[in-house]
Amino acid sequence: MKIRSYQERVFNWQRDVAAQPVTKTPTQRDPEFCKKQLGFVKSEWYDEYIIHAATYNELLSSVPALFEEGITKKIDNIRENVADDIGDVAFTILGLLNAYGVMLDNISFSRSTDMNVLALERRVDLFINGVEDTDKLQASDAKAVLLDLIALSTYYSVRFWDALGAVCASNDTKLWTLPEVHDNQLKIESLKWTDTKVAGVTGGRCYRIKNQDGKLMKSPSFTGPDLRSALMQFVSLT
């Protein structure tokens, strides 16, 4: 099942790349990290998706504008941002599950037929606020909100799984290679960054670099998500 394998992939990234205190046992969760991870979800949703979604819908609100030269490219550029946002929100929600030690089961995800965008967005809001208010996270609630994200993807003509996969692949490139560490050793030492070889990681990327605040620093060869495969041919559902 895709969602369970993606949750495991995010878990391994959090543990090995970001060195976050994730767990598969709810009683062993770190309350402070749970709050921090929820902050990541809120940032991706409110500071990124909501803004880009509003821009998209404002552009589509004027039907005659669809016939202007270059409008399709503008729409695709915004959709690419939205695809990135949806992938990031899904990634951080899976990370939130890992923070709370809640594992999704192997029940298949069916595609939602609900195309009421405001209702879908409202349910995501309710999910975020519910976790914040109660400090509890149920697998059923997380599954429901992920289904809502899949439905939102359909509205934007975005392939949800491709968007999530692109975000995962991009995050993997935050790890540094040994030559990159060597080439930047003076910078790492002068800024008092820490370099840690990640155990069990195979391939060229095997070093985690963090600054003094514990923030994961992107490698020099970091690449953003490649979302080309996530964008379907544009179809307006308005």
For 42-85, the pLDDT digits (tens) are 999 999 999 999 999 888 876 555 555 567 778 888 999 999 99
Go through 187-209 and write b for each residue having 16 or more CB atoms within 10 A of its CB, e for each that does not.
Answer: ebeeeeeebeeeeebeeebbbbb
pLDDT at 237: 47
pLDDT at 236: 52
What's the start-to-end Cα distance of the chain, in Å? Answer: 32
8 A C-beta contact, residue 179 and residue 221: no
pTM across the whole model:
0.90
CA distances from 23 to 15, 17, 94, 216, 224 (A): 9, 15, 12, 19, 27
pLDDT at 80: 95
Q: Kindly report the length of the chain.
A: 238
Q: Where are the alpha helices (DSSP H) in 101-229?
A: 117-134, 139-155, 160-172, 178-183, 185-190
Distance CA 16, CA 128 (A): 26
Question: What's the mean per-residue pLDDT of the chain?
Answer: 90
CA distances from 80 to 53, 103, 116, 232 (A): 11, 29, 21, 10
For the segment 188-212, the average pLDDT, to the nearest whole number, is 87
Distance CA 196, CA 207 (A): 5
In one letter, which amino acid is 106? N
Which has more confidence, 37 or 199? 37
Q: Parallel, antiparallel, or unpaired: how do β-strands 176-177 and 205-210 relate? A: antiparallel
pLDDT tens for residues 11-52?
999 999 999 999 999 999 999 999 999 999 999 999 999 999
